Amino acid sequence: MIQAKVHNIKNLLSLFALSALISAQGNPALNEDTAADLASGKYTVAVLDFEGRGISKLEAATLTDRLSSELANTEAVILVERGQMSEILDEQGFQQSGCTSAECAAEVGALLGVKNMISGAFGKLGNTYTIDAKMFSVESGATIKSVSKSYKGEIDGLITEIEILAWEILKGVVNIMSREKMMLKGWHGVVAGDVPIGAGLSSSASLELALAKAFAVAGDWKWEPQKMARLCQKAENEWVGMNCGIMDQTISALGQKGHALFLDCRSLETKQVALPDSLDVAVMDTGTRHKLVDSAYNERRSQCEEAAAFFEVVALRDLSLEKLLASEKELDPLVFRRARHVVCENDRVLNFINALEGGMHEKAGQLMNESHASLRNDFEVSSEALDLITNCARQTPGCYGARMTGGGFGGCGVALVDSSKSKEFSEAMETGYKASGGKNGMIYICSASEGAEALKP
């Protein structure tokens, strides 16, 4: 909230209500510094009508950028949808809701302390987008510039879907931390990374934990990795809209160099499992991508919950394979296959740990192969590209075993590789996968590293 230094109760409430709306819209979190920024002219508030016009968040953001460019506006734009602005203004007793007049918008602009306001609307008809808006001075009410433009075809915006997702992740982390009453201090930073996006490699979780760590450093508060993992999972569930589990956030928070992490998702107990120096993990990017929020992840989860309810257990981890097999004919065939994957996969995880700790590399690889077959046949989250790249890996010298990773439907596979043959494996795979009909795949020979940490310059 803006800590406004005003005494008029109506103005104070309006300012607080609008700042809450702006925060809810996902714009920069408003605080004392932002209040000063607003007054100094670093932001222009745009009240635009686009709700119910078939315009997505990405399109609205891109059109706002176009509008700002057309207006020759050099300030950052805080976008507020007119309908939501109307609700705030109605509550605060304004006669002209939604800033449909320059006078009303000027009054709101004066409350916020901004120098300029933008008022107008976006439209969309078929593949044509329209912008009708004007920017005017809050102090004088004079129109600075008007824009009436139309664009045909796809809009090539400066904002990509990846940037929108990264922005949503940041907003989600800030939102959850604010609700937890954590002390947040602003910081300036640049986001960069080499984790392939949308490839099933936990890029969202890694960004969430990196952002959380940055806030911890800026705020000088104690870093509690497991707590941060849970909060970041909550941000992804409640804000981003992905009903994911806790695994990705946990490894991003608790990773240790040279170790795999075993996680009990019920108790949240963890165990670091040493990876032998004689083994490397090869990440194999198929060149295909998935959209996890739009994928069948939530559907799979619902099917597993249906199976658990049938057996009256809290989760499928409480179900034995023998009991599941005995009731196969009573279950829907699809639900049965989903449950069989989960029950058997849990056993494979425990056996995989024993294989690593016992130096049984071939056994560990066999378990990875079995896991992929189950993910393909029972859980049905593999893809043609994932099947192809993992099959190529198994036929390449130095590979003990391979499986898909992540949510599936595209993305990456992983292979367990003899470290003495990693280079040859990588070179053979990059040519062999393409020769077998795959895209331009990329092979990354990886080693386990630390989780989210602050690096000293």
Distance CA 145, CA 167 (A): 29
Q: Is 44 helix (H, G, I), strand (E, B) or coil?
A: strand
Strand pairing class (76-81; 43-49): parallel
Rounded to the nearest 10 degrees, how much is the dihedral formed by the CA atoms of 258, 264, 268, 272? Answer: -20
248 is catalytic: yes
Higher pLDDT, 255 or 100: 255
Tens-digit pLDDT profile for residues 28-43: 444 444 455 555 556 6
End-to-end CA distance of the chain: 33
Domains of the chain: 9-159 (3.40.50), 162-254 (3.30.230.10), 276-446 (3.30.70.890)
Tens-digit pLDDT profile for residues 391-418: 999 999 999 999 999 888 888 999 999 9
Catalytic residue among 37, 49, 248, 285: 248
CA-only gyration radius of the chain, Å: 26
Q: What angle do CA 387, 390, 395 make, to 5 degrees?
A: 120
Tens-digit pLDDT profile for residues 152-174: 765 544 345 566 677 788 888 98
Give the confidence band of 304 by pLDDT, cuts at 50, 70, 90. Answer: very high
Verdict on whether the full-model pTM lies above 0.85: no
Tens-digit pLDDT profile for residues 163-218: 667 778 888 898 899 888 888 888 888 887 778 777 778 888 999 999 999 999 99
- pLDDT of res. 153: 60
> What's the residue count for the chain?
457
